[in-house]
Structure 1
Amino acid sequence: MSQGLVQERVTTALLGALNGARLKGQLKTATWPTLTLDAPKRPEWGDLASTVAMSLASSEHKAPHDIAQIIVENIPQREQLFDRVEIVRPGFLNLTVKPALWQEVLREIESQGAHYGRTAVGTGRRVLVEYVSANPTGPLHVGHGRGAAVGHAIVRLLDAIGYDAVGEYYINDAGRQMKLLGASVYARYQELSGRTVEFPEDGYHGSYITSVAQQLKDQLDLVAGELTPADLEARCRSLAYQKLLGLIREDLQSFGIEIQSWFSEASLLESKAIERAMDELKARDLLFQQEGAWWFRASLYGDEKDRVVKKQDGEYTYLASDIAYHHDKLKRGYDLLIDVFGADHHGYIPRMQAVMQAYGHPQDRLQVVLVQLVKLLRDGVEVKMSKRTGEFITMREVIDEVGADAARFYFLMRDSKTHLEFDLELAKQRSADNPVYYVQYAHARICSLWRVAAERGVARPSALETDLTVLTDPDELGLIKKLSAYPEMIQASALAFEPHRVTYYLQQLAAQLHTFYNKHRVLPPATDQEHGEPAPAEALTPKRTAARLVLMGGVQHILRNGLEVLGISAPDHM
C-alpha cells in the first residue's frame, strides 16, 4: 500500500525492529504480516497505532504485550523518530511521531506537486472499465449520470496509481430495443405526416421520440415515396439511432467525460463473433441443447442455474452477446475487467463471472461495481418528473441546473452501492451546507490568500528554504497529518473502486482548513487597526508567517490534486 512519508518511515522502523529481533533470536516468524498503521481513536493516544504484535501472537506463541515490548526495544533510531512509544494491552503500539518528521511532509508535497499521491503500483497492468452503456434509444437519465461519474472516476483513480486504464461504452445497437426504436419513430413520423396509426404496444412513448421524428421528417420525406414501409421503418431506426447516440455523446461531453472506446454490439453479429464464442463453449461441452434452445452451463461455476443463450426461434439472448463481448475484452489482453452496472443488474454478476471461468480465467478477473438509484430532491421534496417534458429527468437537465462540477461531486459523495439523495437547490447554494462549494471554496480561499500576500509585499516562501520547526500547534500538525494520509487514501480508493472515499477526504480536509483559517492568522494585518481583521490571538512572527504559508500551499496542492483526480475543477475565485 502506498504511504505518505511519515507512514513509510514508521513502517520501515517497525520492520527494522522485527528483523532486528529475529536476528537476535527474540522472534522466529519467517514472514512478517502486512504492516498497517491506523490513527488512534483519540488524539492523545498518539499519531499512529499498530496491531502487529497481536498479529504475531499465534506464530510466536507469545503474549502480544511481550511481542510489543520486544519490538519497542529494537526500533532503530527510536529517539529520532518518536516522542513517545506506548504499549497498550493486549498489545497495541501507540506511536507519537516527532513534529520534525511531520513537517518534512510539506517539503515532499511541494517537491512533488501535482504528482503527490500518484504511484506506480499498477504499472504494466491494463484495465478496461465499461460504464454507462445505456441503450441508444433515449437520452441519459439522472441514474446514468451517477454511473458515468463513478465509472469515469474509477478510470482516473486507476490511472493515478499507474494502471493503463481505458473507459469503454458498450453500444446496445442490435436486437429488440433497436427494432422498437425504429417502429416508435416511424409511428410518430406517420402521425406528423397526418396519418392515423396504431402505436407499437411496447414502443418508446417519451416525447423525445416525437422530437426525433420531427427532426428527421425532412430527410424521411425525401425518400418516403421510394421506400417500402419496412425499408422506411429501417431508415427511421438507423437515423434515430445516430441522432440519439450523438445526443448521448454530447451529454457526456457536457459532463466533462470523454470515453476512449465505443464498442458496438452490432459488430459482434456482423463479425460472427457470437457464433465463434458459442462454438468455443460447445467445444468445451459448456453448452447443451434442451427443448430446442441452447443453454450455458453457468451452474458449473457458481451461478444458481444454467442460462439460455440461444432461444428456440434461433435468436440469441442478451447473455450470448455479453459472453461474446467479454470474450472479446479478454482477447484484447486486458488484465482486469471492470463493469459498472446499475443495481438492477445484481443478478448478472454470477453469470458473467461464470463466463470468466468458462474461458479459463479466475472469476475475479471481472469486477462489478453496482450503482444504486438517485432520488432527486428540491428543498427536501422529491422531484419525479422533468419540468420540460413531464417525464423522467435527464442527466443533461441536472448538469444544466447545478453545473457539471456540483453534479459530479454529488454523484460521487456516497458509496455507489447505497441510494443517493441529491438536493438540487442545496447543490446550487454558495454556503458551507453545500459540500462541493465547501471544498472548492477552501481551494479558492487559499488562492485569495496568495493575492492578499502579494498586495502586502509578502513573498510566497519555498518549503525547502523555510524553517518549519515553528509548526508545532496541534491545529498545524493536524492539517499536516491529514495531508500525509492522502497517498494511502488515493490508492485504497482506486483498488476498492470507491471514489466516494476521495470526496469524503476532501470534505474533511476542507473542514480542517476552514477551522484553522477562522482560528489562526496566516498573514499579518496590513495595519495594526485594519478594518475587518480579527485581533491577533497569537504572536505572528515573519518566521511563523512563512511556515504557515508553506502549510497553506500544501493544503492547496492536495485539494487541487484530489479534485483533479475526480475530474472536478479547483477554482481560484468563487
Structure 2
Amino acid sequence: MLVTAEGIILSPGIVQGKVATALLTALNGAKQKGQLRTAVWPTLSLDAPKRPEWGDLASTVAMSLAASEQKAPHDIAQIIVDNLPERDRLFDRVEIMRPGFLNLTVKPALWQEVVREIAVQGQSYGRTDIGAGRRVLVEYVSANPTGPLHVGHGRGAAVGQAVVRLLNAIGYDAVGEYYINDAGRQMKLLGASVYARYQELSGRTIAFPEDGYHGSYITAVAQQIKAQLDSVAEKLNPADLEARCRSLAYEMLLGLIREDLRSFGIEIQSWFSEASLLESKAIEQALDELKARELLFHQEGAWWFRASLYGDEKDRVVKKQDGEYTYLASDIAYHHDKLRRGYDLLINVFGADHHGYVPRMQAVMQAYGHPKDRLQVVLVQLVKLLRDGVEVKMSKRTGEFITMREVIDEVGADAAKFYFLMRDSKTHLEFDLELAKQRSSDNPVYYVQYAHARICSLWRVASERGIVRPSASDVDLTVLTDPDELGLIKKVAAYPEVLQASALAFEPHRVTYYLQQLAALLHTFYNKHRILPPAGGPDADESVATEVLTPSRTAARLVLMAAVQQVIHNGLDVLGLSAPEQM
C-alpha cells in the first residue's frame, strides 16, 4: 500500500497499483486544469465489479468527490476518464455506470506481466513494507498453566500466530507473547488440588479444595511428581509440601503447554510471567502512577480505577479490602510494561467471553496517555467439534474436555490450523474431525495443499519427458489469452491485496478463503486444459482435454503454473502451514 501526499492509498497489487496511479494522475491533472478543486482526495479503492462482464476493476472515487465538488458523480467520472494517461495502453475498455461507477477493463498485457513479476519476486511476492518496521506485540493463548490446552486454545493459537506472521509479511516488526498467569488464586488452587491427590495416592484422605481442579490430569500430575516428593515429604510441613506440589505441577503443566504448542507448529517468541510483576513491585508502581494522576480512588476499603472516565461502563476495583490485587491490577501493570517496552501497537487475542474486558483495557491505554486504539483486541469464538456431523463433547481418553493435542494427533497440525483459520475468528466454528482427515475435495485443507502438490507432480512428469522447465524471462506470455488462463492470472494478481487487507484487519481467514478460491481455479484449469503435450506425440489423446498445444503455449502455461504454485506456497507459509510436494 502506498499513501500519496493527497492521502490516496494505492493498492499493493501490480496491476491494481498501475491503475490506481493512473487514476491519481487523472485527478491531479484535472485539478491543475481547474476541472476539480477538492483539496484532499478521498481514499481511492479498487474492487472487482459485481459482474465480470462489467470489467476487471471498479472505482467509486467519483461518488466520493460529489459532495466536495458539488457536481454529479457521472460528470466527475467523465472528467477523470478524459484525463486518464496512456488510456489506450492500459485499458481495453473504460465505462461509466450511473450514478458514477468507473468500470475498467485492463489490457491482457498488464495481467500477463504479473506472471513474470511473480517469478522475479518468488517468496517475496505479496509482501510489502507498509509497516515500516513499527513494533507490534501480539499476546495470545495465555492460558492458565493449570491444565492442558483445550480446543479453544488451539484456535486462539492458530489465529495469534497467523496475525504475527501476516503483520511481519507487510513490514511490521511483530512478535508473539504468552502471558503466564502464574500468580494468584488459580495457582493456589492448583497446588491445593495436586496436594490433595498426592495425599490420596499416599493412602491419606484430606478434604479436596472447594473450586479445585477435578480433572483426571491432576491425578496424573500427582502420580508423576510423587517419586520426587516421597523422599522429602517427611521433612516438610503440610504448607511447604503443598507449595512443592504447586511448584512442580506448574513446571510440569507449563512444559506440557510449551510442548503442545511446538507440536502445533507454534513458536511464541516471548513468555512473560505474572509473578514477575509482583516480585518487581511493578503492580504497585503502575498503580502509584495512576494515583498520582488521580485516576484511582479509595472507597469502602478498596482502591478503584476510574475506568468510567474513558468509556467503560463503571469504575473497577484494583485492590480489594483485604489488600489483595485483582486480575485487573495485574493486567494494568502488564500492559503498562508493554507500553514501556516501546511497542507501537498492542494486540490481544482473547476468547469471545472476554469481550466485556476490552473497554476497561482500552481505558487503561487512555489513562496512561495513549489513544485507546493503541490496543486492538481480536476475539476468538468457541469451536464445536463434530464427527460425521455429530457433536463431540467429551474426550475418548479421559471422559473430559477434548485437548488441543488430541485434535492435532488425530487430524494433523496443518489440518487443525487450517480449520481454525478457515472462518472469521469472531464467529463460531464447526470442526468435523472426520472431514479434516479425508483426502478429497470436500476437505478444504487437502484441496489447497493438493493444488500445490499437483503442480509439483507436473514438474516431475515434465522432467521424465525431457521437458525443461522454462524461465519466465524467456517466455512469450502474450499467448495467455484464454479466459481460464486470464482468470488464474487475475486471481494470483489479487494475492498482495488480500494479504495486506488480511493483515491490517487481523483476519487470517481472508487468506484461507482466497487459497480455496485459487485452488478451485487451478483444479478446474488442470482438468479442462492441457499443460504438457501428450507423451505419445501430438496424436495421442491421454486426457479429457483435446486442445493442441504449441511449444510457446506449453512454455507459457508452465510459467503460469509456476506462478500459481508460488502464490499457494506463499499463502500457506504466511499462515504457518506446509506446502507439500507429494500427497
* TM-score (norm: length of structure 2): 0.97
Aligned position for 1:78: 87
Task: Tell me by how many angstroms 1:531 deviates.
Answer: 8.3
Gapped regions of structure 1 (runs ≥ 5): none
User: Relative to 1, partners in 2 of residues 1:200 and 1:530: Cα closer, same or farther, differing over 3 Å?
Assistant: farther
Instruction: Work out whether residues 306 and 316 of structure 2, in 8 Å CA contact, stay in contact via their aligned partners in 1.
Output: yes
Per the alignment, residue 505 of structure 1 pairs with 514
Report if the CA contact (8 A) 2:534-2:541 is conserved: no
Provide the rounded CA distance (Å) in 2 between the counterparts of 1:311 and 1:75. 67
Q: 2:527 corresponds to which letter in structure 1?
A: N
Which secondary structure state, in structure 2, belongs to the residue aligned with residue 347 of structure 1? helix
Q: Which residue of 1 aligns with 2:494?
A: 485
Q: What are the Cα deviations for residues 256-298 of structure 1, in whole angstroms up to 9, with x where unaligned?
A: 1111100000000000001101111111111111110110000
Query: Who is 1:295 aligned against?
Result: 304
- Give the structure 2 partner of residue 459 of structure 1: 468
Task: Measure how far apart 1:308 and its partner are.
Answer: 0.4
Question: Which residue number corresponds to residue 134 of structure 2?
Answer: 125
Aligned twin of 2:359: 350
Quote the offset at 1:538 in angstroms: 2.0
Structure 1's 92 and 189: CA in aligned 2 closer, same or farther, altered over 3 A? same
Q: Which residue of structure 1 aligns with residue 223 of structure 2?
A: 214
User: In the alignment, is residue 247 of structure 1 matched against residue 256 of structure 2?
Assistant: yes
Amino acid at match of 2:211: D
| Cα offset, 1:80, TM superposition | 0.5
Q: What amino acid does structure 1 have at the position aligned with 2:529?
A: H
Residues 391-470 of structure 1 aligned to structure 2 (within 5 Å) = 391-470=400-479
Q: How does 1:132-211 map to 2 (within 5 A)?
A: 132-211=141-220
- 1:114 matched to 2:116: no
**Stretches of structure 2 lacking an aligned partner (at least 5 in a row):** 2-10
Structure 2 residue aligned with 1:92: 101
Partner of 1:329: 338
Distance (Å, rounded) in 1 between the aligned partners of 2:545 and 2:243:
76
In structure 2, relative to structure 1, the CA distance for the partners of 1:495 and 1:459 (3 Å cut) is: same
CA contact (8 A) 2:136 2:346 kept: yes
User: Matched residues in 1 for 2:286 and 2:247: separation?
Assistant: 27
- What fraction of aligned residue pairs are identical, expressed as a percent? 85
2:544 and 2:142 mapped to 1: Cα distance?
Answer: 57
Q: CA deviation at 1:530?
A: 8.9
User: After alignment, is 320-329 or 30-39 more displaced?
Assistant: 30-39
Distance 1:535 1:349, change over 3 A: closer
Matched, 1:229 2:238: yes
CA offsets, 1:444-502, max 9 Å, x none?
00000011111111111111110011101111001100111100110110010000000
User: How far apart, in 1, do the equivalents of 2:353 and 2:100 lie?
Assistant: 45
**Residue 60 of structure 1: how far off its partner (Å):** 1.1
Q: Distance in 2 between matches of 1:169 and 1:265?
A: 10
The structural deviation recorded for 1:537 is 2.8
Supply the distance in 2 between the matched residues of 1:530 and 1:318 (Cα, whole angstroms). Answer: 76
Pairwise CA distance, 1:31: 1.8
- Change in Cα spacing, 1:536 to 1:258, as seen in structure 2 (3 Å) is closer
Distance in 2, matches of 1:179 and 1:28, equals 68
- Partner secondary structure for residue 473 of structure 2: coil
| Cα distance in 2 between the residues matched to 1:504 and 1:285 | 49
- Which one-letter code corresponds to 1:243 in the other structure? M
Task: For 2:262 and 2:230, locate their aligned partners in 1 and report how far apart those are by CA, in whole Å.
Answer: 32
In the other structure, the counterpart of 1:561 is 570
AA aligned to 1:304 is: E
Matches within 5 A, 1:519-538: 519-528=528-537, 533-538=542-547
* Alpha-carbon shift at residue 504 of structure 1 (Å): 0.3
Tell me the secondary structure at the aligned position of residue 479 of structure 1.
helix
**Quick check: 2:527–2:545 contact (8 Å CA) kept in 1?**
no
CA distance in 1, matches of 2:209, 2:243: 15
Q: Counterpart of 1:542? A: 551
**Cα separation, 2, equivalents of 1:349 and 1:327:** 15
Q: Secondary structure at the match of 1:464?
A: helix
- Per-residue CA deviations over 1:200-230 (Å, capped at 9, x if unaligned) read 1211000000000000001000110100000
Structure 1 residue 68 and structure 2 residue 74: aligned? no
CA shift for structure 1 position 539: 2.5
Give the structure 2 partner of residue 305 of structure 1.
Answer: 314
Once the two structures are TM-superposed, the CA of residue 24 in structure 1 deviates from its matched residue by: 1.5
Give 1:500's aligned amino acid. H
Q: Deviations over 1:68-109 (max 9, x none)?
A: 111111111100111111111111111110100100000110
Once residues 332 and 22 of structure 1 are traced to their aligned partners in structure 2, the CA distance between those partners, rounded to angstroms, is: 45
2:388 to 371, 379, 387: 379
Structure 1 runs of 4+ off > 3 angstroms?
Answer: 528-532
1:31 aligns with 2:2: no
Match of 1:260 in 2: 269
Counterpart Cα distance in 1 of 2:164 and 2:29:
42
Instruction: Give 1:528 deviation, angstroms.
Output: 4.5
Cα distance change of structure 1 residues 425 and 535 upon mapping to structure 2, 3 Å threshold: closer
Please report how far the alpha carbon of residue 124 of structure 1 lies from its aligned counterpart in structure 2 after TM superposition: 2.7
Q: Is the 8 A contact 2:528 2:544 kept in 1?
A: no
Out of 178-187 and 65-74, give the one that drifted further: 65-74
* Cα distance, 1:19 vs structure 2: 1.2
For residues 309 and 22 of structure 1, the distance between their equivalents in structure 2, rounded to whole angstroms, comes to 57
Query: Aligned equivalents of 2:464 and 2:167: distance in 1?
Result: 41
**1:285-333, CA deviations, whole angstroms, 9 ceiling, x for partnerless residues?**
1111111011000000000000000111110000000000000000000
Looking at structure 2, the residues matched to 535 and 285 of structure 1 have their Cα atoms a distance apart, in angstroms, of: 77
Closer/same/farther in 2, CA of residues 247 and 346 from structure 1, 3 Å limit: same
2:12 and 2:128 in contact (8 A); partners too: no
Identify the residue that residue 51 of structure 2 maps to in structure 1. 42
User: Which amino acid in the other structure matches residue 553 of structure 2?
Assistant: R
User: Aligned partners of 2:428, 2:539: CA distance in 1, in Å?
Assistant: 49
- The Cα of 1:157 is off from its aligned counterpart by 0.3
SS of the residue corresponding to residue 346 of structure 1 reads helix
- 3-state secondary structure, aligned to 1:315: coil
The separation in 1 between residues aligned to 2:24 and 2:363, in whole angstroms, is 41
Matched, 1:275 2:288: no
CA contact (8 A) 2:534 2:540 kept: no
Whole-angstrom distance in 1 between the partners of 2:565 and 2:416: 22
Distance 2:106 2:473 in 1: 21
Offset of residue 533 of structure 1: 2.2
Instruction: Select 2:376's aligned residue among 360, 367, 381.
Output: 367
Q: Residues of 1 paired with 2:119 and 2:361: CA distance?
A: 45
User: How far apart, CA to CA, are the structure 2 residues paired with 1:536 and 1:501?
Assistant: 33
Q: Hey, what's the Cα distance between the residues in 1 that align with 2:300 and 2:77?
A: 67
C-alpha separation in 2, matches of 1:290 and 1:125: 41
How many residue pairs are counted as aligned between the two chains?
A: 574
Moved more, 208-217 or 538-547: 538-547
Between stretches 204-213 and 35-44, larger displacement belongs to 35-44
Q: Which amino acid aligns with 1:221?
A: D
SS across alignment from 2:207: coil
Say which SS state the counterpart of residue 563 (structure 2) adopts.
helix
Which whole-Å CA distance do the structure 2 matches of 1:56 and 1:125 have between them?
A: 32
In terms of mean alpha carbon deviation, does 22-31 or 457-466 score higher? 22-31
Structure 1 match to 2:60 = 51
Distance 2:472 2:419 in 1: 34
